[in-house]
Amino acid sequence: MPPPRRHERPPGFHYDAGFVGPKDYEAILAWLRRIHPIWEQRFSTRRPSPAGQPQRGLLRPVYWLGNWQFACLDYYRPPEGILDRCVQAEPFPAVLAKLVRRIEDLVHRRLPPAALPEGWHLNTCLVNLYGDRIEDGKRTDVARVGEHKDFEPGPVASVSVGERALFQFVSSRKPGSRDAVVLQQWLDDGSLCVFAGNYWKRKVFHRVQRVDRRAGATFPFPVEGFVTRRVNFTFRFVPDEHVVQFRDLSPEAREDVRDYVAELAKHSPFFADALAGEVRAGS
Ligand SMILES: O=C(O)CCC(=O)C(=O)O
């Protein structure tokens, strides 16, 4: 698939380098200082991994809002993968709720109603930490994400803080392939990027190729063995009926994620209550 020329770029991509104003930026930093992101394993530690896919840790610590899609439950992938995947999580803090309202207004202004799935609203947020992993005193840059698609229906919006990142859309899944790049955009500190529609969501893949170090940005997360220099918030839509409370997961899925929920519960009243809810329900 040859890259589209600029004037014939399919609609549905929007970038705003200065989306987050200074007050909101400060409020985001204040909120980030309160959370405790976690490291997840890609697959369940209790069931065998899929054939040919060895167990591995994710490249970066994460935090989710609205609902948590634990990697070991394999993310939300309609039409088949919708049950037992999206676990109710903390609501958005005020500053992110405010940004989400602005993004939803922008999307409604720019896209015809027919381009949005029924009930579309941004109720899910993945907070990705990018930086260096430190293991046995050795520092490794793991600030990237390979080619993938986001399967939640409708537009996806991403807000970035910290060092800028090279974000690319590619037409093939060949790792690192350069000639497959159909669009690239540096995602600046405080920027918004929205992508929507068949071409950007379904036809091509997206990836984060690398993250700069020029600004010397770092975030003081209490995550052992990791130095963060960029944080990305990816907002998505999961139909509300597919989000379940922890206690309502199947027994098998609950076993898979209970240790993560217990870890989150150490610092989050929301997850402490979710854990207690399981006991209250006697399940
Ligand atoms: O960090 C980014 O800019 C993109 C993250 C991403 O691709 C994802 O969360 O699916």
**pLDDT tens per residue, range 234-262:** 999 999 999 999 999 999 999 999 999 99
For the whole model, what pTM was predicted? 0.95
| First-residue to last-residue Cα distance in the chain | 51
Pocket test for ligand 1, best of 145, 209, 230 (most atoms within 8 A of CB): 145
**pLDDT tens per residue across span 175-210:** 666 668 999 999 999 999 999 999 999 999 999 999
Q: State if residue 107 touches ligand 1 by the CB under 6 angstroms criterion.
A: no
Judged by DSSP in three states, 130 sits in strand
Query: Does residue 206 contact residue 168 with C-beta atoms inside 8 Å?
Result: yes
CATH code, residues 6-281: 2.60.120.590
Instruction: Determine the distance separating the centroid of ligand 1 and the alpha carbon of 277, expressed in angstroms.
Output: 32
Instruction: Determine the distance separating the centroid of ligand 1 and the alpha carbon of 280, expressed in angstroms.
Output: 37
Backbone φ and ψ for 201, nearest 5 degrees, come out as -90, -40
Q: State if residue 145 touches ligand 1 by the CB under 6 angstroms criterion.
A: yes
* 252 Cα distance to chain centroid: 24
Burial class (CB in 10 A: 0-12, 13-18, 19+), 181: middle
Type of residue at 185: Q
DSSP secondary-structure letter at 178? S
The two beta strands, 165-170 and 205-211, are antiparallel
- The residue extents of the domains of the chain are 6-281
